[in-house]
Structure 1
Amino acid sequence: MGGKYRITGDKYPRMRPHRRRGRLVVVVVACGAVLGVAGWGTLQLIDVFTGGGGTASAAGSKAPCTVKSAKASPSASASPAALPKPAQITVNVLNATTRSGLAKTTADQLKKRGFKIGEVGNAPKEYDKKVDGIAVLLGPASSLNTSLPVLATQLTGAERRTDAARKGTEVDLVIGTGFKALSSEADAAKALTALTAPKPTATTKKGC
């Protein structure tokens, strides 16, 4: 340069470029975004491995499992249509005790209550003086859910047995040493009504 703008001396001013503040702002913003994404990802991982965290526990603490009552359904074991009436059941009354006349008096009472009476007498040797309970009700396999339950309404606590080899439909009432008397007519009628018209058994559903 010349003229009045001529530079003299051996020292020259250093020309520094202006700092680029825009680039610095971009870098700062980028770093913030990276940190934010990393933090969010960490929270998601924590949520996955803890099973939902506070949200799940809060939902679980609102209310326990509710139990809803379903429609009642009749018991499958009780089938009123398959049960015979007392007049359709022939009962052999056999005395396995040492008390005489017990078979006849019991047979007379059963007859008054509508049952047919077959043989009346002493029990066979296999049962004679060998029945310690109230009585044994014995019949063919088909009587297990038909005649025997109906007869059992007249004598609460009697043992029921079936014989697969036995033929026919007759059933035996073998009186044991624990026998005192038949159930009262009121109790027997109540038990028979409950048997022929069973109350439905309620079932429940868990609404969890």
Structure 2
Amino acid sequence: MLTPQGLKGKQFRITGTSYPRLGPPPRRGRRWLMLIGSLLALSLIALGGVQLVDIFTGKAKHGAAQACASSRASASGKPLAAPAATAASASPSGSAAASGSAAPGSPAASGAPAAVGTPLPAVTAAPQPQTVTVNVLNATDKAGLAARTADDLKQRGFTVGKVGNAPSALEGHVSGAAELVAGQSGAGAAALLGAQVSGASTLADARTDGSVDFVIGDGYTALLDPNAAATALAAALKPSPSASPLPGSC
């Protein structure tokens, strides 16, 4: 190598095969970060592989099917076998039989226990009011409420049967406007009566006729006006269609 003029060549001559290092020396911290990042990436890849295996083998689909089956079973509303004593005390027809005024064909008249809790079938048509026999029972502490309600129902064409107080098991325990108790053959009649009052609930027992017990609750004030009752009946007979479930959902 040539040496600039004025300098001693031997003193500044570069000899050997090594050259000075131009960059900073490597740090151990970077190596640890790279190692940790590699381990995390491998863990994520392994987790994704396990999920793909579950999807292709059908384990996730089988678990979703079991969950859907469980939810349908809990919401199916299967008949609940009530003890004879409980059904007789909870059903207004049972009290009517004790007083000797049970309607013919009702479980109280035949001695059969009422299976309270059986859901009534959905209906798309309602009978005429004059073909429906209504037992008006007062479960509140307001005197004369059953008689006044029975008169209002008569004016709308209903056939009124028993009028009086509700069984002691129901007195003060109906918080809504009314409870309508009917058998399977009285589902249409219960829908027609349910449209006459706002906030009524429907229960079922084992009676075989089409009569309905109209049990007045603490929330009752009066029947709906005829126009509002007709609108409520149309909505009850033609419920809005439910949305189709998304793929993979119950």
CA contact (8 A) 2:139 2:165 kept: yes
1:77/1:136 CA distance change after superposition, 3 Å: closer
- 1:107 is paired with a residue of what secondary structure? helix
Paired residues, number: 125
> CA offsets, 1:98-148, max 9 Å, x none?
10010011111111111111111111112122211111100112223x111
Structure 2 residue aligned with 1:158, among 197, 200, 218?
Answer: 200
Give the letter for the 1:175 counterpart. I
1:200/1:125 CA distance change after superposition, 3 Å: closer
- 1:133 is paired with a residue of what secondary structure? coil
> CA offsets, 1:11-41, max 9 Å, x none?
xxxxxxxxxxxxxxxxxxxxxxxxxxxxxxx
- 2:202 is paired with a residue of what secondary structure? strand
Give the letter for the 1:149 counterpart. A
- 1:147 is paired with a residue of what secondary structure? helix
| Distance in 2 of aligned mates of 1:133 and 1:190 | 21
Please list every run of 5 or more consecutive structure 2 residues that lacks an aligned counterpart in the other structure.
Answer: 1-120, 245-250
- 1:189 partnered with 2:230: yes
Structure 2 residue aligned with 1:96, among 129, 132, 139?
Answer: 139
Paired position in structure 1 for 2:86:
none
Which structure has more relative contact order (CA 8 Å, sep 6+)? It is 1
| Alignment RMSD | 2.5
Paired position in structure 1 for 2:215:
174
Superposed, which structure 2 residues align to 1:1-208 within 5 Å?
A: 77-80=122-125, 83-144=126-187, 146-164=188-206, 166-195=207-236, 198=238, 201=241
Larger Rg: 1
| Distance in 2 of aligned mates of 1:128 and 1:202 | 37
1:201/1:117 CA distance change after superposition, 3 Å: same
| Distance in 1 of aligned mates of 2:219 and 2:239 | 31
CA contact (8 A) 1:143 1:162 kept: no
| Distance in 2 of aligned mates of 1:174 and 1:203 | 34
